[in-house]
């Protein structure tokens, strides 16, 4: 192991140790009953640097529900199919409101503000579904995740999907509301079926960090050499993650961590240090804005110690 | 001139030429009568790179009203005096609404969402004013701008200040509204008097790019060697510029330009390429979100050609 | 026929004639496809005075979809079962927004502002459904309507119910949104099934005016002598109709007509002149607030000519 | 004294006694310092019936600050000057929000929802001011009040006016906000100067009940025989009082009291029983919506015992 990699390794271990000891863990998401059962004591972290070195700590091999982190990947998929026409259906401005807010949709006639709030992600999934059966669309999303992570064992946690399907009233409301404005093309229950399943994909920090590498390296996964998107698109996805990736905590995340990132209510965060690393953290307890509390704290410590913020040289 | 500086020079000239020819110029701000008289044909650009090379084009020496670009500097000043206690008075989340919106203030009991919307900037100016006479506070702001720009000739355009003082009903409403929640400490007309004058500071692109250099270089202006803020604070100011610097066009600016930046209704934009450059552009015509239209277009071209986006390696 | 009845008859005929000739007819509701097919030329009016005289004009025997006029009767039913505990689930303030707005629900945590906007009426239907099968609940509502109208032939227009069930995305959104706050007790699709069917009850102006007589006479239908509610409750239902019965056109209706009333998007309006008469009008074209345009015009003419406004002696 | 007058007298005395004993008094308005000093134990009531009999109880001769009750009279004055053109400047729909809310103004571009919320009343005062000096406009309002009350001793409480002028930040915000949309014609401070003084008019329940008699009797004060407005206008002012007179408690007031009425934060309420009586009550403690708590309770008791609700025969 070379010297920078060694240093990275030490920092990651330190942070994992420190996080394990901290008492402030936030609240595990309760609105999806199956997620509410996850132990708030988990913490995992995995970092792939630009040379392919992997540093990890804590429960970095334990799969968790990626939930809204999936939105980065469905956005990538949909951009591949629709190109910039996608932005006619979904905006790319921060919402200034909660992840599941419906107010903005009424004032802006059903067009979601960005692809990372729930409404926007449902609209993106609806675009992926168009012309396909739900099973096919879901298969495409899952294959894409497996391809990016280089791991064919990634699956969907059906219990989580079923749990959300039973209780996801807010998302059903959002989808029907958009449908009333003609923003969705497919039957609402089909679109939501795919959406709930994509959110229920289970991945470990290692798998997630691997899947996100293309965003850190101009659209190409350096491990495989395969180009996923062109460099400009990679930059732009990162930009949307920066301004919109943490709902109404996006400003806070930019301020403290200084990297583009996307959180999920399962407690995962994917963060991207352009040119340097792809990072995944997992800590199930959430803060008031619905983002992983210790996940954010860990990323703040990491970028500070490694000088990885994109806002300073 | 060394080779990278030569290249930068060529790119900047190209862009200035291209902008001069473009017919799409946006609308000059009309709500401040004095600004409405500015010729929409102006375009200026100035770039200081990390070695102190200056590249400029168009009307880069012509002073314009910096308006809301001043908010970056008053935030810096106020952070110097109050430290992180400042954030008890002003948030740091994107607002999801217009620069002069008052709706959010009602829902969030008078606390502005961030220091770069009008309400937030007025609250910051109120903090700078506390314990001082308006003339002293304004003097402090002006001296700070002159110090940062290394240019003692910078002045306030009194006609612009008077024009806004006569017609700035929205800002008067915002300030009184905050006052009703106890968010402002000083008499509303005193705070607004300072605020309208700080917005009326007139600077050229060259002066503005020089004044912003500390943000590109970890808080230190490399020309003078003087440290303005510590590196972490510089990063954090950049982060707030990234998520909040262009009102309800902040997502768009991040997506297209990929740099932290702050716009003003005078048509100026200050953008920061951390470790690389401080950039100022000026084009008086605005887009629907109140940001300089050609200013943004020019910055998009610049970062693309020079590979300066912070979202790609 | 006695003299006042004769006069009433003449006024009603006059108004029916005038309405038939008017070119301004508003727009037939388009969001329920089956309703969009109704001919905007229809106009009907029926008035029962305190002595049981019936005056009618135009298409007063033609059944139409009563839609939201049904909300008066489900409120009456639910008050009978729950008494004033009902008001813990639904407010009684005007909403200041459209009939199908969802914004208020987000700000007030799922509790609808009043029983006459869609959200509130769905909540009331949910209360009626509790402890019953949908078929039973619907049967109860239908029997109540038949009892009040003294007419066992009243039925539900299944084509309208099916049409709304297929396309009522906004109502599905509202119901799921309330469900997410725990405001509804039953499965959303069951509650909505009953709601869409209650709205699809078809009645003529004559039947509707008869059904509303108890509200004009202290809770008792003078034709049958049967007491439906006590006098205080009748007054209070009238009060809610006055302030909330025409969505965001309630102020306008009070100002112009001066009677409590409830409109439906089928073009019907039930109006109550306390102590004097029960009135039903029908004209399918709607104004911008979703209320029958000519229905309101006709009622304004009627109350003016007969001196029936409750706001003057 | 005739028999109905005797009965009215007894009822009024009973209510005054009961109110004096009740411990639930609400909160005295604190945002105007001078009003905060009023003793919450006061209670007054005065009723003029259709024959000119006066029944009164409690502190019915003690002057209090009429505050927003003045809005009924400035609306009447402005309608006299502008006729129905007035409604191009101010709506007549309930707002669904607080008396001093600014949110609606942003969504509806500066046009207030009705003349009885603060924004609307300021717009009406601005119309009265147009073409006059503030002193003249205020003189006109005061003369109108004295004329209606038949009492030349009515004056303005300058201490209250000054108190609000110093601290009325919300109203200053509302006025400047409207001014930014061009909704006000005069200088904001002049309009507000008149507005604050009109609100500071001090009247007793007796004077107020006398002043409101024209609204109960088709626009004519039966004591003087003088016509103030035509019958239709009287009805329409009553209608606006019914739907908008108690801010976001208008539905509640209609539901409980069943009369048109207008409240003020000084604790006064003017209520109108068309054809029957003009009623003024005063109890300084307010409920959450900013309306006199015991004032509403007293009116509810009164209309119940006398059968005066306009919603029942």
Distance CA(D220)–CA(D228), nearest Å, equals 6
C313 vs D254: CB contact, 8 Å cut-off?
no
A94 vs B217: CB contact, 8 Å cut-off?
no
Of A171, A201, A231, the residue at which a domain comes to its end is: A201
Residues C16 and C61 in one domain: yes
Residue B177 touches partner D, C-beta closer than 8 Å:
yes
Among C217, C231, C236, beta carbon nearest to D255 = C236
What CATH number should be reported for the domain holding residue A11? 3.40.710.10
Give me D133's structure tokens. Answer: 């000096």
SS3 call for B102: coil
Binding partners of B (≥3 Cβ pairs within 8 A): A, D
The answer as to whether A312 is a domain residue is no
* Residues linked to residue C84 through DSSP beta bridges, in sequence order: none
The 10s digit of each residue's pLDDT in B19-31 is 999 999 999 988 8
Query: What pTM value is reported for the model?
Result: 0.95
Return the beta strands (E) in A145-216 as ranges. Answer: 155-156, 201-203
Binding partners of D (≥3 Cβ pairs within 8 A): B, C
Among candidates C3, C2, C7, which has minimal Cα distance to C47?
C7
Residue A249 touches partner B, C-beta closer than 8 Å:
yes
Residues B31 and B80 in one domain: no
Distance CA(B279)–CA(B216), nearest Å, equals 9
What pLDDT is recorded for position D218?
Answer: 96
Which residues does C84 contact at the CB level (< 8 Å), separation at least 6?
Answer: none
SS3 call for C270: strand
pLDDT over threshold 80, residue D313: no
The 10s digit of each residue's pLDDT in D72-128 is 999 999 999 999 999 999 999 998 888 788 888 888 889 999 999 999 999 999 999
The answer as to whether B313 is a domain residue is no
With cut-offs at 50, 70 and 90, classify the pLDDT of residue A223: confident
The answer as to whether B311 is a domain residue is no
C-chain CB neighbours of A180 within 8 Å are 31, 169-170, 173
- With a pLDDT cut of 70, the percent of chain C lying above it is 99
C238 vs D114: CB contact, 8 Å cut-off?
no
Give me A245's structure tokens. Answer: 């990736």
Among candidates B183, B196, B30, B166, which has minimal Cα distance to D189?
B166
Residues D215 and D226 in one domain: yes
Of C201, C230, C245, the residue at which a domain comes to its end is: C201
Give me C209's structure tokens. Answer: 């005016």
Q: What backbone phi and psi angles, to 5 degrees, belong to B88?
A: -75, -20
Distance CA(B27)–CA(B159), nearest Å, equals 21
Residues D244 and D302 in one domain: yes
Distance CA(C263)–CA(A82), nearest Å, equals 45
Contact C45, C58 (CB under 8 A): yes
Distance CA(B107)–CA(B110), nearest Å, equals 8
Contact D225, D76 (CB under 8 A): no
What pLDDT is recorded for position A247?
Answer: 93
Distance CA(D272)–CA(D280), nearest Å, equals 9
Residue D97 touches partner C, C-beta closer than 8 Å:
yes
The answer as to whether B79 is a domain residue is yes
* Residues linked to residue D48 through DSSP beta bridges, in sequence order: D54, D278
| Active site (catalytic) residues of B | 68, 71, 195, 247, 265
The answer as to whether B18 is a domain residue is yes
What pLDDT is recorded for position D234?
Answer: 98
Contact D160, D32 (CB under 8 A): yes
* Burial class of D2 by CB neighbour count within 10 A (0 to 12, 13 to 18, 19+): exposed
What pLDDT is recorded for position B128?
Answer: 98
Number of structural domains in chain B: 2
Minimum CA–CA partner of D97 in chain B: B106
Write down the mean pLDDT value for chain A. Answer: 95
Minimum CA–CA partner of A216 in chain B: B312
Distance CA(D176)–CA(B180), nearest Å, equals 14
What pLDDT is recorded for position B20?
Answer: 94
Long-range contacts at C129-138 (CB < 8 A, ≥ 24 apart): C129/C185, C129/C186, C129/C190, C129/C191, C129/C194, C130/C185, C130/C186, C134/C190, C134/C193, C134/C194, C137/C194, C138/C194, C138/C197, C138/C198
Residue D174 touches partner B, C-beta closer than 8 Å:
yes
What pLDDT is recorded for position D172?
Answer: 97
pLDDT over threshold 80, residue A313: no
Residues B185 and B92 in one domain: yes
Return the beta strands (E) in chain B as ranges. Answer: 27-28, 44-49, 54-58, 64-65, 155-156, 201-203, 220-221, 226-227, 261-263, 268-273, 277-282, 285-286
The 10s digit of each residue's pLDDT in A95-152 is 888 878 888 888 888 999 999 999 999 999 999 999 999 999 999 999 999 999 999 9
Task: Say how many C-beta atoms besides its own lie within 10 A of residue B135's C-beta.
Answer: 11
Helix H, strand E, coil C: the string for D75-135 is HHHHHHHHHHHHHHCCCCCCCCCCCCCCHHHHHCCCCCCCCCCHHHHHHHHHHHHCCCCHH
Stretch A210-230: mean pLDDT, rounded? 95
Residue C217 touches partner D, C-beta closer than 8 Å:
yes
CA atoms within 13 A on the CB side of D187: 7
Residues D129 and D217 in one domain: no
SS3 call for B306: helix
The answer as to whether D311 is a domain residue is no
* Residues linked to residue B262 through DSSP beta bridges, in sequence order: B270
SS3 call for D308: coil
The 10s digit of each residue's pLDDT in D164-205 is 999 899 999 999 999 999 999 999 999 999 999 999 999 999
pLDDT over threshold 90, residue D263: yes
Distance CA(C202)–CA(C264), nearest Å, equals 12
What pLDDT is recorded for position B168?
Answer: 93
Q: Are strands B285-286 and C27-28 parallel, antiparallel or unpaired?
A: unpaired
Contact B59, B42 (CB under 8 A): yes
SS3 call for C233: helix
Give me A144's structure tokens. Answer: 């894409």
Residues A210 and A301 in one domain: yes
Task: Say how many C-beta atoms besides its own lie within 10 A of residue C274's C-beta.
Answer: 24
The answer as to whether C313 is a domain residue is no
What pLDDT is recorded for position B1?
Answer: 63
DSSP secondary-structure letter at B87?
A: G
With cut-offs at 50, 70 and 90, classify the pLDDT of residue B37: very high
SS3 call for C203: strand
Distance CA(A162)–CA(D172), nearest Å, equals 54
Annotate B75-102 with b (16+ C-beta within 10 A) or e (fewer): bbbbbeebeeebeebbbbbbbbbbbbbb
Among C31, C102, C176, beta carbon nearest to A172 = C176
Distance CA(B119)–CA(B76), nearest Å, equals 17
Stretch D126-134: mean pLDDT, rounded? 98
Residues A152 and A246 in one domain: no
What pLDDT is recorded for position D96?
Answer: 85
Residues C169 and C150 in one domain: yes
Write down the mean pLDDT value for chain B. Answer: 95
D-chain CB neighbours of C276 within 8 Å are 313
The answer as to whether D167 is a domain residue is yes
Residues A152 and A187 in one domain: yes
B-chain CB neighbours of A92 within 8 Å are 251-252, 255
Residues B57 and B107 in one domain: no
Helix (H) / strand (E) containing A15? helix A3-21
D71 is catalytic: yes
Domain enclosing residue B142, as ranges: 68-201
Distance CA(C50)–CA(C213), nearest Å, equals 9
Write down the mean pLDDT value for chain D. Answer: 95
Rounded to 5°, angle at Cα C203 from C201 and C204: 165
Distance CA(A219)–CA(B251), nearest Å, equals 20
Q: Are strands C201-203 and C155-156 parallel, antiparallel or unpaired?
A: antiparallel
Which residues does B54 contact at the CB level (< 8 Å), separation at least 6?
Answer: B46, B47, B48, B206, B209
Give me D70's structure tokens. Answer: 């003045």
What pLDDT is recorded for position B3?
Answer: 82
Q: What is the pLDDT along chain C (313 residues), one digit of tens a residue?
A: 688 889 999 999 999 999 999 999 999 988 888 899 999 999 999 999 999 999 999 999 999 999 999 999 999 999 999 999 999 999 999 988 887 888 888 888 899 999 999 999 999 999 999 999 999 999 999 999 999 999 999 999 999 999 999 989 999 999 999 999 999 999 999 999 999 999 999 999 999 999 999 999 999 999 888 999 999 999 999 999 999 999 999 999 999 999 999 999 999 999 999 999 999 999 999 999 999 999 999 999 999 999 999 999 7
DSSP string, A223-277: TT--B-S-HHHHHHHHHHHHHHTTGGGHHHHHHHT-S-EEE-TTSEEEEEETTTE
Torsion of CA C131, C136, C142, C147, to 10 degrees: -80
What pLDDT is recorded for position D1?
Answer: 63
Residue A244 touches partner B, C-beta closer than 8 Å:
yes
Distance CA(B124)–CA(B186), nearest Å, equals 12
Residues D80 and D157 in one domain: yes
SS3 call for C65: strand
DSSP string, C168-201: -HHHHHHHHHHHHTT---S-HHHHHHHHHHHHTE
Contact D171, D120 (CB under 8 A): no
Contact A47, A110 (CB under 8 A): no
Among candidates C55, C76, C68, C80, which has minimal Cα distance to C209?
C55
Instruction: Tell me how far CA of residue C165 lies from CA of B91, C169, C170, C191, in angstroms.
Output: 44, 8, 11, 12
The 10s digit of each residue's pLDDT in A154-187 is 999 999 999 999 989 999 999 999 999 999 999 9
Stretch D123-142: mean pLDDT, rounded? 98
């Amino acid at each position: 192991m070379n010297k920078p990699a060694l240093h990275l390794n030490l920092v990651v271990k330190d942070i994992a140790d420190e996080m394990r000891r901290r008492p402030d863990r936030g609240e595990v998401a309760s609105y999806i009953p199956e997620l509410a059962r996850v132990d708030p004591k988990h913490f995992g972290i995995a970092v792939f640097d630009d040379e392919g070195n992997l540093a990890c700590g804590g429960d970095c091999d334990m799969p968790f529900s990626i939930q809204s982190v999936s939105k980065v990947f469905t956005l990538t998929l949909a951009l591949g199919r629709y190109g910039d026409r996608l932005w006619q259906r979904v905006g790319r401005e921060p919402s200034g409101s909660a992840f599941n807010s419906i107010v903005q949709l009424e004032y802006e006639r059903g067009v979601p503000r960005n692809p990372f709030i729930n409404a926007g992600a449902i609209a993106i999934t609806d675009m992926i579904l168009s012309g396909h059966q739900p099973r096919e669309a879901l298969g495409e999303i899952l294959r894409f995740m497996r391809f990016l992570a280089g791991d064919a064992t990634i699956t969907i946690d059906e219990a989580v999907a079923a749990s959300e399907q039973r209780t996801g009233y807010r998302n059903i409301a959002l989808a029907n509301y958009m449908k009333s404005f003609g923003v969705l093309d497919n039957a609402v229950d089909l679109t939501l079926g795919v959406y709930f399943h994509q959110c229920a994909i289970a991945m470990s920090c290692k798998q997630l960090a691997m899947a996100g590498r293309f965003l850190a390296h101009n659209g190409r996964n350096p491990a495989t050499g395969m180009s996923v998107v062109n460099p400009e698109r990679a930059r732009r996805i990162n930009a949307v993650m920066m301004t919109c990736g943490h709902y109404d905590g996006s400003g806070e995340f930019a301020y403290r961590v200084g990297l583009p990132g996307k959180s999920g209510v399962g407690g995962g965060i994917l963060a991207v240090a352009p040119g340097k690393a792809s990072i995944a953290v997992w800590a199930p307890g959430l803060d008031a804005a619905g983002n992983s509390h210790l996940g954010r704290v860990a990323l703040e410590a990491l970028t500070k110690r490694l000088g990885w913020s994109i806002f300073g040289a």
